[in-house]
Amino acid sequence: MPVNTKLADFGWGPLQERQRSAQADQNIRPARVLDVHRSLVHVAAPSFDESVPTPLNHEKGPVTVGDWVFVDESGKRIVSILDRTSLFRRRAPGTDYREQLIAANVDTLFIVSSCNHDFNEARLERYLAIGRDAGVMSLIVLTKADLCEDSSDYVRRSSKLAPGLIVETVNALERESLAVLDSWLASGQTIALLGSSGVGKSTLTNTLLGRRDISTQEARADDDRGRHTTTSRQMHQLPGGAWLVDTPGMRELQLTDVRSGLDDVFAEITELARKCRFADCTHNAEPGCAVLAAVENSEVDVDRVTRWRKLVREEAHNRESIAERRARDKSTGKLYKTIISETQRKKGREA
Ligand SMILES: Nc1nc2c(ncn2[C@@H]2O[C@H](COP(=O)(O)OP(=O)(O)OP(=O)(O)O)[C@@H](O)[C@H]2O)c(=O)[nH]1
Ligand SMILES: [Mg+2]
Ligand SMILES: [Zn+2]
């Protein structure tokens, strides 16, 4: 592990410093979460590196990679999770409407896709909504430019996916070609890599590390799909001092609680929707629908409108279902606590 001397090298900033000043207990120490396992969390700070038990039932939800935590004097117990400067989350796969945290305190998001069959506008828009909602700068990084005859069409299609979007094409195996990313990789910066399996997230991390530490695997030849090689999220410190969060390629990225992110990514459509006659217009067939009128006049891309409608519906559905689930869990928790305290009182009386 790095033996840095300054917390800032680990990404510590003013928001974290304020939280430390507010702490009464001066013996606690801050540390950054580099890796989360089922029962242990790997945390580190200047001259500190420990695996400590995963804190359970924390009000800020489970601890996630990139989090800042306070560890007690013994260095063996996480006492609290600090407020985050940014947080990425999705609806966890499965039918039970849980939320899954992806990474916290990220400064820049590299949304990785390849110049091949993996390229998919609808998927990129999902990642972009998550990034914009978290208020994090997002870049699209198109890998495997070296394997493709002409990457310009991918760049053109990517650029249209959100206002002011930066798109870079690279060969993830070659350090020089990654120089276009260097301005985002200053010391103490945290960058998360998101993208489907096989696009080269770990390859890119290895090349920036200058080592082949992380396993990578060839994608399938017939459809360019990856083999889900990386299975856990992990932070790596680059030689220049930036922190890179490599993540496993997600099979499914269901949006939740990213309404403002969606509005931002689909700004041209959101703008139109404000002009619809009915405030609750679903933009399907209503009279006076400004979105449908714009489609009619070819002022907006009809495919993008279709994708937007789908995402808005999905986001609302997941957000409401997760909120309901949370409320249900909370009342079950309360009920459970009441039963326990009742039982204990009865026992006390009997004794
Ligand atoms: N030629 C070339 N090959 C690349 C490039 N990026 C990745 N690859 C290859 O693509 C394959 C998959 O790369 P990985 O880095 O394992 O992909 P990943 O995104 O980490 O995938 P998961 O861990 O499964 O999510 C490997 O064989 C890499 O060598 C690139 O820009 N050019
Ligand atoms: Mg990987
Ligand atoms: Zn409408």
**pLDDT tens, position by position, 253-288:** 889 889 999 999 999 999 999 999 999 999 998 999
How does pLDDT run across 3-60, given as a tens digit for each residue?
A: 335 899 999 999 999 999 998 888 899 999 999 988 899 999 998 999 999 987 667 7
Report whether 59 contacts 84 (CB < 8 A): no
CATH topology of domain 87-246: Rossmann fold (3.40.50)
The domain locations on the chain are 7-81, 87-246, 259-326
Q: Which residues surround ligand 3, an ion (CB under 5 A)?
A: 276, 281, 283, 289, 291
Architecture of domain 7-81: Roll (2.30)
The answer, yes or no, to whether any atom of ligand 1 lies below 6 A from the CB of 203, is yes
Superfamily of chain region 259-326: Probable gtpase engc; domain 3 (1.10.40.50)
Report whether 136 contacts 86 (CB < 8 A): yes
Ligand 2 center to 196 CA (angstroms): 9
**What pTM value is reported for the model?**
0.90
What is the reported pLDDT for 250?
A: 86
The answer, yes or no, to whether any atom of ligand 1 lies below 6 A from the CB of 218, is yes
Angle, nearest 10°, between helix axes 121-133 and 302-350? 50
Give the chain's length: 351
Q: Identify the nearest ligand to the CA of 280 by its number.
A: 3
**Residue 94, pLDDT above cutoff 60:** yes
3-state secondary structure of 151: coil
How does pLDDT run across 136-179, given as a tens digit for each residue?
A: 999 999 999 999 999 999 999 999 999 999 999 999 999 999 99
